[in-house]
Structures are given as structure tokens and as C-alpha cells.
């Protein structure tokens, strides 16, 4: 085996043209000395880039040995499995990672993969060099559909010999059932009876939904013919009381007629579907206009499962949903820090406590984007009441009071105090809006979401818990930030994704077998390690050292200098103003923590950086690092 590897290496040396030698030439020279190192890297790269790969066998590895690392990454990224890796990452990014994408190697993707529309759509766009940033969309311009199934054989029916015959049978039955239902609605004024029939038919006897189930449509199209959640609510499926809304009959009729018209489109639709989905590139894209029942479908990013999981109780005022957005798209885990927050949101004692404001100043305005979304995410904006997931119904003054939680103060130029809040003091830094479309436009435009995307991609490729130099992450994130500029072409985001992935796989962190979690291996071009702890060096340099540097730094704290102190521990140069002596490590770090989050125990301390804004995630990262150092984690 080793002889084969050596032969491959000799071949590589003579056969590889000079033009192929890339920036990783230095590491290639090292690989020539240590073929195992390159085989190990290739094995790891295969597992990272090719979804479901178990790594490379010796013969597979030997075949690739003549190629440069750059060429190997390109080769892997042109494999259809790479787009499944992207799909898996997208689900990871959205906090929805699944154990497996498919039920079995030969089956279609799991329904959970489709239900979170943006993850699948972004992977498909990537495979087609389209707009990867649909990952940040609230509404999708199309429906994504998997492979169709085979039709069921009608019970007792033995004369059908082809799938076509079976499908024709089920379509005819569905039409018959819907015609009867439409006639029933038109001839009755008993709303209670109609609702009872609407809600019960599925349990007691076959109806059009069952017939469509038997047809073999993919799940995503089948659900377009399922009973509408809104009509089920109006008919009282929750709470058992039929609403007094006069429009119920008309709503039921409109829905039934829409389905009836939609049935006519099914055969052509079915024939146009890709029957075998081998990768996200093969997904079926359906324009909503081609299916009458899809016309009114919102195609929103959140699935029903998502809405159920991020439930809105009558007391949490959508904060669970707001926290999800902050954590997922901005990497803000809402570390509680004591920073001044003068604005009070939401009628809720907890939120108005000064200590709690530390999170709520940004959480409540974020939650406000979801104010109209009640139980399972239903939009109650046009309805005279609001139903929470805990089934508390608000109407009249109660509803007005609930919505007033997010009303902007009098004299404000905006109607709602709803937005992505970066600063509690400087409103001009914040991105305000009203609707979920506004929120997701902010996410698409905000640089913070691109940095977050890069961090998550690094976690996915290099391992959770690995620390990175912040300047390097910023350097990589620039690819995404540039691709989000108004002048960028839609395909630029796909190029950026591939470029960042490639940089990560070619990084020193990736190439190092079992990298030490607390050590940074990669740095931005033209930048050297500063000597400060690498996890926070960039944050400190960006926010602190313009003042806290060198002799005579304010409060004796020189944050540009990390040294071994007298007792052998490491710490910043920090001279106590009273004694003129270097502070002990613990005392120094405690004072730094107080500057970042001045609690009552700190006494009269100013929030740092003084009179300057600091990114909330950077502040939290630095604060958590200080706390970890204080608890002995870094020593």
C-alpha cells in the first residue's frame, strides 16, 4: 500500500503542470514528505464535502494523490453530493438539522427537508448557480416539489393494469366528491352543519383529500389540496365553537371551488415532474400560478412545525420567535449583559425590570415583527380577534392593548417600535420595519447575518467549539457581504458560498489533525497573531485598544499587551491607579467584566467602550471569554 502511495507521489511530481501549483504549494511540499497527511486530509475533505461519504478507501485516495488540494476541492464541489452537504448545512444554519436527509439511500428527501422551504431552495439555487441568499427569504417565489409516488390500487379493483388508470380513477373520485360538497354548501345556510361536515368528513368517510392522497402526488403538492387551517379555525376546530363570522359559508365555497379548479391541472403537473431526485439540483420548481390552489399560498419560510415549536403563548408576546431569529440569523444568543436600555417595550413586568432590559431592548422589537401571528402562525391581521397558541383569545380592548406593546412612542416618525435593534441609544443604527417581509429584507441586507453565516459554516466544516481569529472570519465573510450588495448579481451569493467553503477546507485548521480547540490556526492575509488571546484579539483591537493601549492608558489598563504576570498566570497589563502595582489576574478580569456589563456589584463604573457603540455579539463574546478566564477555563 505504501509502495503504491509513493508511486502516486512520483507520478504527481512529474505529471502535475506548473500551472496547477497554487497557493498551497508549501503544504503540497509537506504532503510529498508525508503522504499519509495528504491522504488524511483528502479523507476528511471527502467526508466534509460529499454528503453521506464514509471517507476514502486507500485505492480512492491513491487515485486522487496526483491532484493538488485545490483541484481535489474543486472535484468534490462538482459532485452532486456537495449540494446535499449544502442542504444539510442550510438546515444546520436554520437550527433544523436532521439525522438524515432521505428515508433510505434510494428514497426521496424526507418531508422535513421540504417543509423548511428556504433550506432546500438555497441548496437548489446553489446547484444552479442562482441566488443562494433565498436562505434569507421570508416568501418564496415558487413551490419546491419532490418526486411523485405511485398511485394506490383501489380496494377490490383488479382490472386496472397501469398506474395511469389508477390515477384517472382517483381523480374522477376526487372531482365527484368535490362537486357533491360544493352543491351541499350552496344549498345550505346552516353554518354549524356545514362546519361539522367540513371538519368530520376526513375522519368518517372518504373525501377528496383521501382520493388525492391515493393519486401519488408528492407531499408538497398534496398538501396544497388539504383543508385550509384558517377555515378549520373559523369552523371551530379549536375551542369547539363555530365562529359567528358571516363569511364562513363563502370561505368554504371559495376553497372548494379553488380545489375543484386545481384538480384539472393535476395530470399535466404530474407529467412534468422529475421522477427521481438525485440531488437538490433535480428538485421540481412549480410556479404558483400554474395551480389554482397554490395561488393564495403564502410560501413563507416557516413551516407549520416551525410555528408549533416556536409557539406564541399569551404571556411570551412572540419572544420565542424573536429569540429564534436573533440566534439563527445574527448569532446573538442573548447573553444577559447590563447595558443601559431606556426604552420599555411590551406590557410585562419582567421586560420592564432594569436587569431584564439588557435582553429585552432588542428581543421585544424583534418579537414585534410576529405580532399578528397567532396559533400555528396564522395571520390574524385581517381578523377581529387574535388566538394565541395557548388558545387565549384576544379581542376588543384586550387586542388593542396587546398590539400597543409595540406602538412607537408619540412623536415618532414610525408607527411601530419593531425592528432589529443594534443600539439602545442611537436609533440611527437600528433597522426598523413593520412586516415579516421587512424583517427578512433586513436579514438579507445586514452585514451581521453574513458574519453569522460564515461563523456557522466554519462550525459546520471545522467543528463546534473550535476558536477562530475574528479578523479571519471577517475576511471570509466579506465574500458574502459583497454578494449582498445591491450591485451584485444573484449568482454571486452562490460563488461566495463555494469560495468560503473552499477557503475553510483548505485552511490550516482543517488540515491539522485534531486541532486544539482553544488555538487559532488561520489568520487573514497580511495579518499576524497579535499576542493577545486569539479568540478575542480582533474584538479587543477593534473596540478597545484605540484608547487602552500603551503606558498611560485609561485606568492603567493596556489591552494591547497580554503578558505572563508575576505569579506565572497570563493577563493584561493593568496597573492599579492607587497602588501603582500590577493588578492580579482575577482583579483585572473582574474590572474588565464590569466595564462590559456594569452590575450593581461593580459600583460606579462606566460602560465600555466609553461613548462608543459595540456590536452586541462582540460584547457578549468578550464578556463570556472574560467569565471563562475568571472561572479558570483558560488557564
**CB of 97 or CB of 295, closer to another protein:** 97
CB of 516 to another protein, least distance (A): 5
Angstrom distances, CA of residue 478 to CA of 12, 288, 358, 490, 621:
34, 35, 30, 16, 20
**CB of 213 or CB of 629, closer to another protein:** 629
**Grid cell 362546519 in the structure block, residue:** 195
CB of 97 to another protein, least distance (A): 4
550: left (phi over 0), alpha (psi -120 to 50) or beta: left
Footprint of another protein (CB under 8 A):
1, 36, 39-40, 42-44, 52-59, 61, 91-100, 105-106, 112, 305-306, 309-310, 324, 327-328, 463-465, 513-519, 632-635
Residue 165 exposed, middle or buried by CB count within 10 Å (0-12, 13-18, 19+): middle
**CB of 92 or CB of 160, closer to another protein:** 92
Rounded Cα distance, 73 and 66, in Å:
13
| SS3 category, 558 | strand
CB of 175 to another protein, least distance (A): 38
**CB of 95 or CB of 384, closer to another protein:** 95
CB of 57 to another protein, least distance (A): 7
C-alpha dihedral (610, 616, 619, 620), degrees to nearest 10: 150
**CB of 39 or CB of 454, closer to another protein:** 39
CB of 39 to another protein, least distance (A): 5
CB of 89 to another protein, least distance (A): 10
For the record, the C-alpha cell of 350 comes out as 419582567
Is 598:610 a contact under the CB 8 Å cutoff?
Answer: no
Percent helix, strand and coil across the chain, each to the nearest 5: 55, 5, 40
CB of 333 to another protein, least distance (A): 11
**CB of 295 or CB of 519, closer to another protein:** 519
Is 538:492 a contact under the CB 8 Å cutoff?
Answer: no
For the record, the C-alpha cell of 162 comes out as 397501469
Rounded Cα distance, 439 and 137, in Å:
10
**CB of 113 or CB of 191, closer to another protein:** 113
For the record, the C-alpha cell of 498 comes out as 463555494
- Residue count (the chain): 635
**CB of 94 or CB of 483, closer to another protein:** 94
Rounded Cα distance, 45 and 47, in Å:
5
CB of 64 to another protein, least distance (A): 12
Amino acid at each position: 500500500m505504501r509502495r503504491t502511495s509513493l508511486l502516486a507521489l512520483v507520478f504527481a511530481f512529474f505529471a502535475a503542470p506548473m500551472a496547477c501549483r497554487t497557493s498551497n504549494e508549501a503544504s503540497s511540499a509537506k504532503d510529498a514528505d508525508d503522504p499519509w497527511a495528504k491522504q488524511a486530509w483528502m479523507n476528511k475533505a471527502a467526508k466534509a464535502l460529499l454528503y453521506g461519504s464514509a471517507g476514502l478507501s486507500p485505492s480512492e485516495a491513491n487515485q486522487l494523490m496526483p491532484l493538488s488540494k485545490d483541484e481535489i476541492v474543486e472535484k468534490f464541489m462538482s459532485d452532486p453530493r456537495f449540494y446535499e452537504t449544502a442542504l444539510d448545512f442550510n438546515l444546520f444554519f436554520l437550527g433544523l438539522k436532521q439525522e438524515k436527509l432521505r428515508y433510505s439511500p434510494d428514497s426521496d428527501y424526507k418531508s422535513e427537508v421540504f417543509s423548511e422551504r428556504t433550506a432546500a431552495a438555497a441548496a437548489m439555487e446553489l446547484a444552479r448557480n442562482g441566488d443562494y441568499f433565498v436562505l434569507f427569504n421570508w416568501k418564496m417565489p415558487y413551490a419546491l416539489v419532490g418526486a411523485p409516488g405511485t398511485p394506490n390500487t383501489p380496494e377490490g379493483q383488479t382490472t386496472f393494469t397501469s398506474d395511469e388508470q389508477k390515477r384517472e380513477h382517483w381523480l374522477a373520485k376526487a372531482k365527484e366528491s368535490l362537486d357533491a360538497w360544493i352543491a351541499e354548501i350552496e344549498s345550505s345556510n346552516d353554518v354549524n352543519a356545514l362546519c361539522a361536515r367540513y371538519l368530520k368528513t376526513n375522519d368518517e368517510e372518504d373525501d377528496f383529500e383521501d382520493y388525492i392522497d391515493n393519486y401519488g402526488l408528492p407531499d408538497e403538492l398534496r398538501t396544497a389540496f388539504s383543508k385550509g387551517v384558517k377555515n378549520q379555525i373559523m369552523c371551530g376546530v379549536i375551542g369547539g365553537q363555530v365562529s359567528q363570522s358571516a363569511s364562513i359559508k363563502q370561505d368554504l365555497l371559495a376553497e372548494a371551488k379553488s380545489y375543484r379548479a386545481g384538480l384539472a391541472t393535476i395530470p399535466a403537473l404530474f407529467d412534468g415532474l422529475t421522477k427521481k431526485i438525485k440531488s437538490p439540483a433535480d428538485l421540481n420548481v412549480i410556479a404558483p400560478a400554474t395551480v389554482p390552489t397554490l395561488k393564495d399560498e403564502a410560501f413563507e419560510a416557516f413551516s407549520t412545525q416551525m410555528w408549533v415549536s416556536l409557539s406564541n403563548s399569551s404571556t411570551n408576546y412572540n419572544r420565542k420567535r424573536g429569540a429564534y431569529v436573533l440566534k439563527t440569523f445574527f448569532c446573538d444568543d442573548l447573553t444577559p449583559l447590563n447595558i443601559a436600555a431606556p426604552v420599555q417595550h411590551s406590557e410585562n413586568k419582567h421586560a420592564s425590570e432594569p436587569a431584564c432590559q439588557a435582553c429585552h431592548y432588542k428581543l421585544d422589537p424583534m418579537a414585534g415583527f410576529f405580532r399578528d401571528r397567532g396559533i400555528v402562525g396564522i395571520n390574524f391581521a385581517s381578523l377581529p380577534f387574535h388566538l394565541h397558541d395557548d388558545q387565549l383569545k384576544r379581542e376588543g380592548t384586550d387586542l388593542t392593548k396587546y398590539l400597543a406593546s409595540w406602538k412607537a412612542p408619540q412623536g415618532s416618525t414610525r408607527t411601530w417600535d419593531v425592528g432589529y435593534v443594534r443600539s439602545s441609544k442611537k436609533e440611527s443604527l437600528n433597522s426598523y420595519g413593520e412586516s415579516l417581509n421587512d424583517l427578512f429584507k433586513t436579514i438579507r441586507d445586514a452585514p451581521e447575518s453574513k458574519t453569522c453565516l460564515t461563523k456557522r459554516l466554519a462550525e459546520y466544516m471545522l467543528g463546534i467549539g473550535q476558536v477562530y481569529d475574528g479578523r479571519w472570519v471577517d475576511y471570509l465573510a466579506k465574500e458574502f457581504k459583497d454578494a449582498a450588495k445591491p450591485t451584485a448579481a444573484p449568482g454571486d451569493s452562490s460563488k461566495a458560498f463555494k469560495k468560503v467553503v473552499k477557503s475553510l477546507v483548505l485552511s490550516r485548521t482543517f488540515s491539522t489533525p485534531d486541532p486544539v480547540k482553544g488555538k487559532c490556526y488561520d489568520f487573514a492575509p497580511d495579518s499576524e497573531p497579535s499576542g493577545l488571546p486569539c479568540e478575542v484579539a480582533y474584538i479587543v483591537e477593534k473596540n478597545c485598544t484605540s484608547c487602552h493601549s500603551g503606558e498611560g492608558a485609561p485606568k492603567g489598563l493596556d489591552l494591547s499587551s497580554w503578558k505572563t504576570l508575576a505569579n506565572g498566570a497570563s493577563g493584561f497589563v493593568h496597573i492599579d491607579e492607587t497602588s501603582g502595582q500590577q493588578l492580579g489576574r482575577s482583579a483585572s478580569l473582574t474590572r474588565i467584566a464590569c466595564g462590559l456589563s456594569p452590575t450593581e456589584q461593580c459600583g460606579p463604573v462606566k460602560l465600555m467602550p466609553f461613548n462608543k457603540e459595540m456590536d452586541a455579539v462582540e460584547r457578549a463574546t468578550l464578556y463570556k471569554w472574560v467569565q471563562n478566564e475568571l472561572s479558570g477555563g483558560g488557564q
